Amino acid sequence: MKHIKIFDTTLRDGEQTPRVNLNAKEKLRIAKQLESLGVDVIEAGFAAASPGDFSAIQLIAENIKNSTVTSLARAVKSDIEVAAEAIKKATKPRIHTFIATSPVHREFKLKMTKEEILKSVDEMVRYAKSFVEDVEFSAEDAMRTEKEYLVEVYETAIKAGATTINIPDTVGYRTPDEMYETIKYLKDNIKGIENIDISVHCHNDLGLAVANSIAAVEAGATQIECTVNGIGERAGNTSLEEVVMILKTRKDLFEGYTTNIDTKQIYPASKLVSLLTGVTTQPNKAIVGANAFSHESGIHQHGVLANPETYEIMKPETVGRNVDSLVLGKLSGKHAFIDKLNNLGLSGFDDKKIEQLFAEFKNLADRKKYVLDDDIISLVSGDAAEVVKGRLSLEQFEISRKDSKTKAEINILLDGEKEVSASYGSGPVDASYKAINRILNDNFVLEEYKLESITGDTDAQAQVVVIIEKNGKRYIGRAQSTDIVEASIKAYINALNRLYQN
């Protein structure tokens, strides 16, 4: 058996996706889903990057029991100390330290010689090792580094105590053949490599991150670094769901290869990450996209009805989609609701949480004839009814339209005081936001407004994500409702409450 470790970096490299900004509670919610998914390692953040990152890592380290929890740290003493402090309470702590090694990084970024870098690798891996047993070392931009020098770098790290060496394609430059060659070369030439894990970390700039990670596994890599939905810097990272399903679906090629992933948790994890980051997946995204298991052409539909294997290489249920045909509605009872949660892989809630979710479900069922699987996943993942408590709350609103002009009248409570405002706008959302802006008279900027429907009917729930910016900081607000204006106003208020919390 060849066990491939799944190292998830959704909360670190994934959080480096432009505009993504998660708070500690949201990060913990994702970390718990990653634990249910069965990932071996959760990279919870970069502790030295900010106090917010530090406390989120600490919170995750205290709450996650089954997965290793790691923090990234540059190969400098102060970063390693902060990382060690943040993961101190983890059941399985790891420090992940890195330094760049390629000529362009050595000359222009670090201004260090090859020898100086080797010295730093030796000293900093030893330093990390003085805090924890489990130390991962990455040579940033490894795939554009001279192969012979890489051997020296990784041999130094292993001698200093690294238990995993990570070989990143930081700029997503390589092709699968090149990846295979390099990993094979390193495997054959680095002394001591047989006793440690060989990891790869691929970026997707040329759309090859998944193919490169798989080529690396074929060459002997034992750990894949990846993110849910493939989110991450620039074009993103290797997509977790794709590599896992390649290894599972192509058993003929990967006989004996295993991962710890409970694939039924893939779809709920994908939904949760989309919801909390505001980064939705394209419809044709493999495994988790809206169309990944839809069959449009008549010939295909006919084939699938006769035998799903005609056009489906995986069963949607295997990745937690279309788990049963039971559609819930307002007459559904708590048992049916709990059954549905279990079938969707969304179990493990205490009685109080079930009561709260059931009440939210009933609320939704009052407004929507059929409550579909995606509604339930999104209700559970996003705590749809959650209102970000703060200075503002919505009392009521009214939209009217006359002579092609749309007017919004809004009543809100601001610091407990009732405020009434009205404004015209190019549409109901624009008018409502302008009415709120009149009350606040503040200089934040609305950077992004996104509205999507969770399911396809006219009574579908709208999911709105709003990002506002002030003084270089971004605040995200989300809300869901069957009424698109209500969802829009609540998302705006949630973002504003986050702004005023800080």
User: Which is nearer to ligand KIV, 54 or 98 (by Cβ)?
Assistant: 98
Residues 6+ apart with CB under 8 A from 331: none
Residue 230 sits in the site that holds ligand KIV (CB under 6 A): no
| Contact of residue 269 among Zn ion, ligand KIV, none (CB under 5-8 Å per partner type) | none
How many residues belong to the site for ligand KIV (CB under 6 A)?
10
Residue 14 sits in the site that holds ligand KIV (CB under 6 A): no
Estimate the share of the chain in helix, then strand, then coil, as percent rounded to the nearest 5.
45, 25, 35
Residue whose Cβ sits closest to Zn ion: 13
Least separation, in Å, of the C-beta of 209 and Zn ion? 10
Q: Nearest 5°: phi and psi at 373? A: -55, -45
User: Which is nearer to ligand KIV, 168 or 382 (by Cβ)?
Assistant: 168
User: Which is nearer to ligand KIV, 128 or 392 (by Cβ)?
Assistant: 128
Residue 98 sits in the site that holds ligand KIV (CB under 6 A): yes
Residue 13 sits in the site that holds ligand KIV (CB under 6 A): yes
Is there a binding annotation on residue 237? yes
- Which amino acid makes up residue 314? M
Residue 140 sits in the site that holds ligand KIV (CB under 6 A): yes
Least separation, in Å, of the C-beta of 169 and Zn ion? 9
The contact mask relative to ligand KIV for 166-195 (x = CB under 6 A, - = no) is x-x-x-------------------------
* Distance from the Cα of residue 418 to its chain's centroid: 38
The alpha carbons of the chain give a radius of gyration, in whole angstroms, of: 25
DSSP 3-state of 203: strand
The contact mask relative to ligand KIV for 65-84 (x = CB under 6 A, - = no) is -------x------------
User: Which is nearer to ligand KIV, 94 or 478 (by Cβ)?
Assistant: 94
Is there a binding annotation on residue 203? yes
* Distance from the Cα of residue 166 to its chain's centroid: 21
Q: Can you give the three-state secondary structure of 320-377, one letter per residue?
A: CCCCCCCCECCCCCHHHHHHHHHHCCCCCCCHHHHHHHHHHHHHHHHHCCCECHHHHH
User: Which is nearer to ligand KIV, 72 or 371 (by Cβ)?
Assistant: 72
Is there a binding annotation on residue 295? no
Q: Can you give the three-state secondary structure of 221-273, one letter per residue?
A: CCEEEEEHHHCCCCCCECEHHHHHHHHHHCCCCCCCEECCCCHHHHHHHHHHH
Residues 6+ apart with CB under 8 A from 183: 167, 198, 200, 215, 216, 219, 220, 221
By the criterion CB under 5 A, which residues form the site for Zn ion?
13
User: Which is nearer to ligand KIV, 79 or 373 (by Cβ)?
Assistant: 79
Kindly indicate which of the ranges 162-170, 395-403, 408-416, 421-429 contains the residues binding ligand KIV, using the contact rule CB under 6 A: 162-170
- What is the rounded distance in angstroms from the CA atom of residue 260 to the CA atom of residue 235? 27
Q: Which two tokens stand for residue 5?
A: 């470790």
Least separation, in Å, of the C-beta of 230 and Zn ion? 12
Angle at 134 between CA 133 and CA 136, to 5 degrees: 135
Q: Which of residues 268-287 bind ligand KIV (CB under 6 A)?
A: none
Residues 6+ apart with CB under 8 A from 368: 375, 457, 459, 460, 461, 482
User: Which is nearer to Zn ion, 41 or 462 (by Cβ)?
Assistant: 41
Kindly indicate which of the ranges 83-91, 165-173, 340-348, 493-501 contains the residues binding ligand KIV, using the contact rule CB under 6 A: 165-173
Longest dimension (CA), the chain: 79
User: Which is nearer to Zn ion, 13 or 197 (by Cβ)?
Assistant: 13
Residue 201 sits in the site that holds ligand KIV (CB under 6 A): yes
Find residue 41's DSSP bridge partners: 7, 68
| Contact of residue 138 among Zn ion, ligand KIV, none (CB under 5-8 Å per partner type) | ligand KIV
Least separation, in Å, of the C-beta of 113 and Zn ion? 25
| Contact of residue 406 among Zn ion, ligand KIV, none (CB under 5-8 Å per partner type) | none
- What is the rounded distance in angstroms from the CA atom of residue 326 to the CA atom of residue 319? 18
Is there a binding annotation on residue 204? no
Least separation, in Å, of the C-beta of 235 and ligand KIV? 12
- Give the CA-trace dihedral at 315, 317, 318, 321, to 10 degrees: 110
User: Which is nearer to ligand KIV, 27 or 201 (by Cβ)?
Assistant: 201
Instruction: Answer for the pair 404, 416: CB distance below 8 angstroms, yes or no.
Output: no
Residue 155 sits in the site that holds ligand KIV (CB under 6 A): no
Kindly indicate which of the ranges 163-171, 383-391, 402-410, 430-438 contains the residues binding ligand KIV, using the contact rule CB under 6 A: 163-171
DSSP state of 283: T
Q: Which two tokens stand for residue 312?
A: 């489906």
Binding-site residues, please?
13, 201, 203, 237
Binding-site residues for Mn(2+), please?
13, 201, 203, 237
- Binding-site ranges for ligand KIV (CB under 6 A): 13, 72, 98, 138, 140, 166, 168, 170, 201, 203
